[in-house]
Amino acid sequence: MDSKTKTRMTYQRQVILEELAKVTSHPTAYDLHKMVNKRLPKISLGTVYRNLELLSESNEIQRLDVSGHQRRFDANAKDHHHIRCIHCSRVDDLPIDTTSVLEDIVFRTSEYTVLGHKIEFYGICPECKVKEQKHQEKDDISKDKNKSKTRR
Amino acid sequence: MDSKTKTRMTYQRQVILEELAKVTSHPTAYDLHKMVNKRLPKISLGTVYRNLELLSESNEIQRLDVSGHQRRFDANAKDHHHIRCIHCSRVDDLPIDTTSVLEDIVFRTSEYTVLGHKIEFYGICPECKVKEQKHQEKDDISKDKNKSKTRR
DNA sequence: TCCTTATTAGTAATGATTACTATTACTAAT
DNA sequence: ATTAGTAATAGTAATCATTACTAATAAGGA
Ligand SMILES: [Mn+2]
Ligand SMILES: [Mn+2]
Ligand SMILES: [Zn+2]
Ligand SMILES: [Zn+2]
Protein backbone atom coordinates (compact mmCIF):
# COMPACT_ATOMS: atom_id res chain seq x y z
CA MET A 1 0.00 0.00 0.00
CA ASP A 2 2.92 2.29 0.63
CA SER A 3 4.57 3.96 -2.31
CA LYS A 4 7.77 2.05 -1.63
CA THR A 5 6.42 -1.52 -1.46
CA LYS A 6 8.21 -3.93 -3.75
CA THR A 7 6.00 -6.40 -5.54
CA ARG A 8 7.55 -9.81 -5.96
CA MET A 9 7.10 -12.00 -9.00
CA THR A 10 5.79 -15.19 -7.49
CA TYR A 11 5.37 -18.40 -9.43
CA GLN A 12 1.63 -18.27 -8.78
CA ARG A 13 1.39 -14.81 -10.29
CA GLN A 14 3.40 -15.87 -13.29
CA VAL A 15 1.25 -18.93 -13.95
CA ILE A 16 -1.95 -16.90 -13.62
CA LEU A 17 -0.62 -14.43 -16.15
CA GLU A 18 0.50 -17.20 -18.50
CA GLU A 19 -2.78 -19.06 -18.39
CA LEU A 20 -4.77 -15.89 -18.94
CA ALA A 21 -2.60 -15.01 -21.92
CA LYS A 22 -3.29 -18.42 -23.47
CA VAL A 23 -6.99 -17.78 -23.96
CA THR A 24 -9.18 -15.20 -25.61
CA SER A 25 -12.26 -16.22 -23.68
CA HIS A 26 -12.29 -13.47 -21.02
CA PRO A 27 -12.52 -15.93 -18.12
CA THR A 28 -13.87 -15.21 -14.66
CA ALA A 29 -11.66 -15.56 -11.61
CA TYR A 30 -13.29 -18.91 -10.98
CA ASP A 31 -12.63 -20.10 -14.56
CA LEU A 32 -9.03 -19.05 -14.26
CA HIS A 33 -8.67 -20.80 -10.94
CA LYS A 34 -9.77 -24.03 -12.57
CA MET A 35 -7.23 -23.49 -15.37
CA VAL A 36 -4.33 -22.59 -13.09
CA ASN A 37 -5.26 -25.36 -10.70
CA LYS A 38 -4.04 -27.96 -13.18
CA ARG A 39 -0.49 -26.64 -12.88
CA LEU A 40 -0.70 -25.53 -9.25
CA PRO A 41 -3.06 -27.92 -7.46
CA LYS A 42 -2.74 -26.03 -4.16
CA ILE A 43 -3.48 -22.50 -5.35
CA SER A 44 -6.47 -20.90 -3.69
CA LEU A 45 -9.25 -18.91 -5.30
CA GLY A 46 -8.37 -15.96 -3.09
CA THR A 47 -4.86 -15.88 -4.53
CA VAL A 48 -6.26 -15.82 -8.04
CA TYR A 49 -8.56 -12.93 -7.13
CA ARG A 50 -5.80 -10.98 -5.41
CA ASN A 51 -3.34 -11.39 -8.26
CA LEU A 52 -5.87 -10.54 -10.95
CA GLU A 53 -6.61 -7.41 -8.97
CA LEU A 54 -2.91 -6.49 -8.65
CA LEU A 55 -2.18 -7.23 -12.29
CA SER A 56 -5.05 -5.08 -13.47
CA GLU A 57 -4.01 -2.26 -11.16
CA SER A 58 -0.55 -2.30 -12.69
CA ASN A 59 -2.20 -2.38 -16.11
CA GLU A 60 -0.72 -5.70 -17.16
CA ILE A 61 -4.19 -7.11 -17.71
CA GLN A 62 -7.72 -5.70 -17.88
CA ARG A 63 -10.74 -6.11 -15.65
CA LEU A 64 -14.11 -6.34 -17.38
CA ASP A 65 -16.96 -5.35 -15.11
CA VAL A 66 -19.83 -6.64 -17.19
CA SER A 67 -23.16 -5.08 -16.24
CA GLY A 68 -25.20 -7.44 -14.13
CA HIS A 69 -22.78 -10.31 -14.64
CA GLN A 70 -19.68 -11.83 -13.16
CA ARG A 71 -16.42 -9.96 -13.48
CA ARG A 72 -14.14 -11.16 -16.25
CA PHE A 73 -10.46 -10.69 -17.07
CA ASP A 74 -8.62 -9.99 -20.28
CA ALA A 75 -4.92 -10.51 -20.99
CA ASN A 76 -5.23 -7.73 -23.53
CA ALA A 77 -4.83 -4.57 -21.46
CA LYS A 78 -5.43 -2.27 -24.42
CA ASP A 79 -8.80 -0.55 -24.31
CA HIS A 80 -11.22 -2.25 -26.67
CA HIS A 81 -14.91 -3.06 -26.88
CA HIS A 82 -16.71 -6.30 -26.19
CA ILE A 83 -19.92 -8.09 -27.04
CA ARG A 84 -21.76 -10.45 -24.72
CA CYS A 85 -24.25 -13.18 -25.63
CA ILE A 86 -27.53 -12.81 -23.76
CA HIS A 87 -27.96 -16.59 -23.86
CA CYS A 88 -24.66 -18.12 -22.78
CA SER A 89 -22.99 -14.98 -21.35
CA ARG A 90 -19.96 -15.56 -23.52
CA VAL A 91 -17.92 -12.41 -24.12
CA ASP A 92 -15.96 -11.73 -27.30
CA ASP A 93 -13.77 -8.93 -28.60
CA LEU A 94 -15.20 -6.39 -30.94
CA PRO A 95 -12.54 -5.33 -33.45
CA ILE A 96 -13.87 -1.85 -34.07
CA ASP A 97 -11.75 1.27 -33.84
CA THR A 98 -13.90 3.14 -31.30
CA THR A 99 -15.43 6.55 -31.96
CA SER A 100 -17.81 5.77 -34.82
CA VAL A 101 -19.49 2.95 -32.94
CA LEU A 102 -22.93 2.15 -34.22
CA GLU A 103 -24.78 -1.09 -34.18
CA ASP A 104 -24.66 -1.57 -37.91
CA ILE A 105 -20.89 -1.24 -37.81
CA VAL A 106 -20.90 -4.08 -35.31
CA PHE A 107 -23.29 -5.93 -37.55
CA ARG A 108 -20.70 -5.93 -40.31
CA THR A 109 -17.79 -6.88 -38.03
CA SER A 110 -19.30 -9.54 -35.84
CA GLU A 111 -20.95 -12.92 -36.24
CA TYR A 112 -23.39 -11.97 -33.52
CA THR A 113 -26.97 -10.95 -34.07
CA VAL A 114 -26.82 -7.56 -32.39
CA LEU A 115 -29.87 -6.84 -30.29
CA GLY A 116 -28.70 -3.61 -28.73
CA HIS A 117 -25.99 -1.89 -26.80
CA LYS A 118 -25.47 0.05 -23.64
CA ILE A 119 -23.11 2.95 -23.21
CA GLU A 120 -21.79 3.75 -19.80
CA PHE A 121 -19.87 6.96 -19.37
CA TYR A 122 -17.86 7.62 -16.28
CA GLY A 123 -16.41 10.75 -14.84
CA ILE A 124 -16.60 13.11 -11.91
CA CYS A 125 -19.83 14.83 -10.91
CA PRO A 126 -19.91 18.56 -10.19
CA GLU A 127 -20.22 17.97 -6.44
CA CYS A 128 -17.14 15.79 -6.32
CA LYS A 129 -15.22 18.22 -8.48
CA VAL A 130 -15.68 20.87 -5.79
CA LYS A 131 -14.53 18.46 -3.08
CA GLU A 132 -11.53 17.51 -5.17
CA GLN A 133 -10.51 21.15 -5.52
CA LYS A 134 -10.68 21.68 -1.77
CA HIS A 135 -8.44 18.68 -1.16
CA GLN A 136 -6.06 19.93 -3.81
CA GLU A 137 -5.77 23.26 -2.01
CA LYS A 138 -4.95 21.58 1.29
CA ASP A 139 -2.33 19.38 -0.38
CA ASP A 140 -0.81 22.35 -2.15
CA ILE A 141 -0.20 24.07 1.17
CA SER A 142 1.73 21.18 2.72
CA LYS A 143 3.62 19.70 -0.19
CA ASP A 144 3.37 20.02 -3.95
CA LYS A 145 5.26 17.14 -5.58
CA ASN A 146 2.15 15.86 -7.35
CA LYS A 147 1.61 15.18 -11.00
CA SER A 148 -1.45 16.84 -12.54
CA LYS A 149 -4.30 14.82 -11.04
CA THR A 150 -7.29 16.55 -12.61
CA ARG A 151 -7.95 17.05 -16.26
CA ARG A 152 -9.97 19.87 -17.78
CA MET B 1 -45.34 -17.76 -14.42
CA ASP B 2 -48.16 -19.17 -16.54
CA SER B 3 -49.34 -17.17 -19.50
CA LYS B 4 -52.73 -16.71 -17.87
CA THR B 5 -51.67 -15.41 -14.44
CA LYS B 6 -53.41 -12.22 -13.39
CA THR B 7 -51.21 -9.71 -11.63
CA ARG B 8 -52.89 -7.89 -8.79
CA MET B 9 -52.34 -4.27 -7.94
CA THR B 10 -51.27 -4.41 -4.32
CA TYR B 11 -50.83 -1.34 -2.17
CA GLN B 12 -47.16 -2.21 -1.72
CA ARG B 13 -46.60 -2.28 -5.47
CA GLN B 14 -48.39 1.03 -5.89
CA VAL B 15 -46.34 2.75 -3.19
CA ILE B 16 -43.07 1.41 -4.63
CA LEU B 17 -44.01 2.77 -8.02
CA GLU B 18 -45.06 6.13 -6.56
CA GLU B 19 -41.91 6.58 -4.52
CA LEU B 20 -39.69 5.64 -7.44
CA ALA B 21 -41.52 8.12 -9.66
CA LYS B 22 -40.86 10.90 -7.13
CA VAL B 23 -37.11 10.83 -7.58
CA THR B 24 -34.61 11.13 -10.40
CA SER B 25 -31.80 9.59 -8.39
CA HIS B 26 -31.87 6.03 -9.80
CA PRO B 27 -32.08 4.41 -6.36
CA THR B 28 -31.03 0.89 -5.48
CA ALA B 29 -33.55 -1.62 -4.11
CA TYR B 30 -32.17 -0.90 -0.67
CA ASP B 31 -32.54 2.88 -1.10
CA LEU B 32 -36.10 2.40 -2.28
CA HIS B 33 -36.89 0.14 0.64
CA LYS B 34 -35.81 2.89 3.02
CA MET B 35 -38.04 5.37 1.16
CA VAL B 36 -41.09 3.12 0.98
CA ASN B 37 -40.56 2.03 4.57
CA LYS B 38 -41.67 5.44 5.82
CA ARG B 39 -45.15 4.85 4.40
CA LEU B 40 -45.23 1.07 4.87
CA PRO B 41 -43.21 0.26 8.00
CA LYS B 42 -43.75 -3.49 7.59
CA ILE B 43 -42.68 -3.91 3.97
CA SER B 44 -39.77 -6.28 3.47
CA LEU B 45 -36.74 -5.81 1.26
CA GLY B 46 -37.67 -8.96 -0.63
CA THR B 47 -41.01 -7.48 -1.59
CA VAL B 48 -39.25 -4.40 -2.95
CA TYR B 49 -36.89 -6.56 -5.01
CA ARG B 50 -39.70 -8.75 -6.34
CA ASN B 51 -41.88 -5.83 -7.35
CA LEU B 52 -39.07 -3.90 -8.96
CA GLU B 53 -38.35 -7.05 -10.93
CA LEU B 54 -41.99 -7.47 -11.98
CA LEU B 55 -42.40 -3.80 -12.86
CA SER B 56 -39.32 -3.82 -15.03
CA GLU B 57 -40.42 -7.00 -16.75
CA SER B 58 -43.72 -5.35 -17.65
CA ASN B 59 -41.75 -2.33 -18.81
CA GLU B 60 -43.29 0.10 -16.35
CA ILE B 61 -39.87 0.92 -14.98
CA GLN B 62 -36.29 0.25 -15.99
CA ARG B 63 -33.51 -1.81 -14.43
CA LEU B 64 -30.01 -0.37 -14.62
CA ASP B 65 -27.34 -3.02 -14.31
CA VAL B 66 -24.37 -0.79 -13.72
CA SER B 67 -21.05 -2.51 -14.43
CA GLY B 68 -19.38 -3.59 -11.22
CA HIS B 69 -21.91 -1.78 -9.07
CA GLN B 70 -25.22 -2.27 -7.36
CA ARG B 71 -28.30 -2.54 -9.51
CA ARG B 72 -30.38 0.61 -9.79
CA PHE B 73 -33.91 1.41 -10.88
CA ASP B 74 -35.37 4.15 -13.00
CA ALA B 75 -39.01 5.26 -13.17
CA ASN B 76 -38.30 6.39 -16.70
CA ALA B 77 -38.73 3.23 -18.76
CA LYS B 78 -37.71 4.93 -21.99
CA ASP B 79 -34.27 3.88 -23.21
CA HIS B 80 -31.74 6.54 -22.40
CA HIS B 81 -28.08 6.82 -21.41
CA HIS B 82 -26.54 7.41 -18.02
CA ILE B 83 -23.36 8.70 -16.47
CA ARG B 84 -21.89 7.50 -13.19
CA CYS B 85 -19.48 9.27 -10.89
CA ILE B 86 -16.39 7.20 -10.14
CA HIS B 87 -16.14 8.83 -6.72
CA CYS B 88 -19.62 8.74 -5.20
CA SER B 89 -21.26 6.23 -7.61
CA ARG B 90 -24.10 8.66 -8.23
CA VAL B 91 -25.89 8.02 -11.53
CA ASP B 92 -27.48 10.74 -13.63
CA ASP B 93 -29.37 10.91 -16.90
CA LEU B 94 -27.57 11.87 -20.04
CA PRO B 95 -29.91 13.87 -22.29
CA ILE B 96 -28.31 12.86 -25.58
CA ASP B 97 -30.26 11.48 -28.52
CA THR B 98 -28.28 8.23 -29.01
CA THR B 99 -26.50 7.24 -32.22
CA SER B 100 -23.84 9.93 -32.53
CA VAL B 101 -22.54 9.38 -29.02
CA LEU B 102 -19.06 10.66 -28.48
CA GLU B 103 -17.43 11.87 -25.34
CA ASP B 104 -17.18 15.43 -26.48
CA ILE B 105 -20.92 15.49 -27.10
CA VAL B 106 -21.32 14.43 -23.50
CA PHE B 107 -18.82 17.06 -22.51
CA ARG B 108 -21.11 19.72 -23.91
CA THR B 109 -24.29 18.27 -22.37
CA SER B 110 -23.15 17.30 -18.89
CA GLU B 111 -21.66 18.99 -15.87
CA TYR B 112 -19.44 15.96 -15.39
CA THR B 113 -15.78 15.76 -16.21
CA VAL B 114 -15.93 12.84 -18.60
CA LEU B 115 -13.08 10.42 -18.08
CA GLY B 116 -14.24 7.75 -20.49
CA HIS B 117 -17.03 5.46 -21.48
CA LYS B 118 -17.74 1.83 -21.98
CA ILE B 119 -19.96 0.38 -24.65
CA GLU B 120 -21.54 -2.97 -24.09
CA PHE B 121 -23.28 -4.58 -27.02
CA TYR B 122 -25.51 -7.54 -26.52
CA GLY B 123 -26.85 -10.09 -28.92
CA ILE B 124 -26.76 -13.75 -29.82
CA CYS B 125 -23.51 -15.54 -30.62
CA PRO B 126 -23.22 -17.79 -33.69
CA GLU B 127 -23.29 -20.96 -31.56
CA CYS B 128 -26.53 -19.98 -29.88
CA LYS B 129 -28.06 -18.94 -33.17
CA VAL B 130 -27.67 -22.51 -34.39
CA LYS B 131 -29.20 -23.92 -31.21
CA GLU B 132 -32.06 -21.46 -31.53
CA GLN B 133 -32.76 -22.61 -35.07
CA LYS B 134 -32.89 -26.25 -33.99
CA HIS B 135 -35.40 -25.43 -31.26
CA GLN B 136 -37.41 -23.45 -33.76
CA GLU B 137 -37.59 -26.46 -36.08
CA LYS B 138 -38.79 -28.75 -33.29
CA ASP B 139 -41.44 -26.21 -32.27
CA ASP B 140 -42.55 -25.76 -35.84
CA ILE B 141 -43.27 -29.47 -36.13
CA SER B 142 -45.55 -29.64 -33.08
CA LYS B 143 -47.35 -26.31 -33.14
CA ASP B 144 -46.78 -23.05 -34.98
CA LYS B 145 -48.77 -20.35 -33.24
CA ASN B 146 -45.59 -18.35 -32.42
CA LYS B 147 -44.76 -14.77 -33.23
CA SER B 148 -41.45 -14.26 -35.04
CA LYS B 149 -38.89 -14.89 -32.30
CA THR B 150 -35.68 -14.42 -34.22
CA ARG B 151 -34.66 -11.39 -36.16
CA ARG B 152 -32.29 -11.30 -39.16
C1' DT C 1 -69.73 -13.08 1.14
C1' DC C 2 -66.72 -16.66 -0.26
C1' DC C 3 -63.26 -19.01 -2.82
C1' DT C 4 -59.00 -19.18 -5.39
C1' DT C 5 -54.46 -18.13 -5.56
C1' DA C 6 -51.20 -14.11 -6.24
C1' DT C 7 -48.66 -11.78 -2.98
C1' DT C 8 -46.65 -10.81 1.30
C1' DA C 9 -43.40 -10.68 5.60
C1' DG C 10 -39.92 -12.91 7.47
C1' DT C 11 -36.10 -15.41 7.02
C1' DA C 12 -32.80 -18.71 5.06
C1' DA C 13 -29.79 -19.69 1.23
C1' DT C 14 -26.78 -18.61 -2.49
C1' DG C 15 -22.98 -16.67 -5.06
C1' DA C 16 -19.42 -13.45 -5.84
C1' DT C 17 -16.02 -11.01 -3.75
C1' DT C 18 -13.21 -9.40 0.11
C1' DA C 19 -10.99 -9.81 4.67
C1' DC C 20 -8.33 -12.22 8.04
C1' DT C 21 -4.47 -14.94 9.80
C1' DA C 22 -0.99 -18.09 10.68
C1' DT C 23 2.54 -19.80 7.75
C1' DT C 24 5.69 -19.70 3.79
C1' DA C 25 9.24 -17.95 0.85
C1' DC C 26 11.62 -13.96 -1.71
C1' DT C 27 15.24 -10.67 -1.21
C1' DA C 28 18.80 -8.06 0.58
C1' DA C 29 22.03 -7.27 4.22
C1' DT C 30 25.14 -9.33 7.34
C1' DA D 1 25.29 -19.44 3.78
C1' DT D 2 22.47 -17.37 7.62
C1' DT D 3 19.41 -14.23 9.11
C1' DA D 4 15.91 -10.72 9.36
C1' DG D 5 12.20 -8.34 7.35
C1' DT D 6 8.11 -8.54 5.10
C1' DA D 7 5.31 -9.69 0.62
C1' DA D 8 2.56 -13.26 -0.54
C1' DT D 9 0.20 -17.53 0.16
C1' DA D 10 -3.42 -21.26 1.51
C1' DG D 11 -7.23 -21.83 3.92
C1' DT D 12 -11.11 -20.11 5.68
C1' DA D 13 -14.42 -16.77 7.57
C1' DA D 14 -17.07 -12.69 6.67
C1' DT D 15 -19.66 -9.54 3.84
C1' DC D 16 -22.85 -7.92 0.56
C1' DA D 17 -26.30 -8.14 -2.98
C1' DT D 18 -29.71 -10.88 -4.59
C1' DT D 19 -32.77 -14.92 -4.76
C1' DA D 20 -35.46 -18.73 -2.77
C1' DC D 21 -38.61 -20.64 0.50
C1' DT D 22 -42.85 -20.82 3.31
C1' DA D 23 -46.72 -20.17 6.15
C1' DA D 24 -49.98 -16.47 6.46
C1' DT D 25 -52.54 -12.75 4.19
C1' DA D 26 -55.47 -10.35 1.04
C1' DA D 27 -56.86 -9.10 -3.99
C1' DG D 28 -60.70 -9.54 -6.67
C1' DG D 29 -63.89 -12.30 -9.48
C1' DA D 30 -68.04 -15.36 -8.93
MN1 LIG E 1 -11.06 -8.45 -24.89
MN1 LIG F 1 -32.43 7.51 -16.04
ZN1 LIG G 1 -24.22 -17.70 -26.86
ZN1 LIG H 1 -19.67 12.27 -7.29
Closest approach of A11 to chain B, Cα-based (Å): 29
pTM of the shown model: 0.80
Q: How far is CA A9 from the centre of its chain?
A: 20
Domains of chain A: 1-77 (1.10.10.10)
On average, the pLDDT of chain A sits at 80
- What is the residue-level pLDDT of chain B in tens, covering all 152 positions? 344 578 999 999 999 999 999 999 999 999 999 999 999 999 999 999 999 999 999 999 999 998 889 999 999 999 888 888 877 788 888 876 654 555 666 667 677 787 777 777 777 877 788 877 776 666 555 443 333 322 22
Is the CB of B63 less than 7 A from some atom of nucleic acid strand D? no
Amino acid at B144: D
Most A-contacting residue of B66, B125, B134, B151 (CB-CB within 10 A), to test interface: B125
Low-confidence stretches of chain A (pLDDT < 70) are 1-5, 96-109, 135-152
Bases of chain C below 7 A from a protein C-beta are 5-12, 16-20, 26-27
Long-range contacts of A130-137 (CB under 8 A, 24+ apart): A131/B87, A132/B87
List all residues of chain B from 59 to 78 with a beta carbon under 8 Å from chain A: 65-69, 71
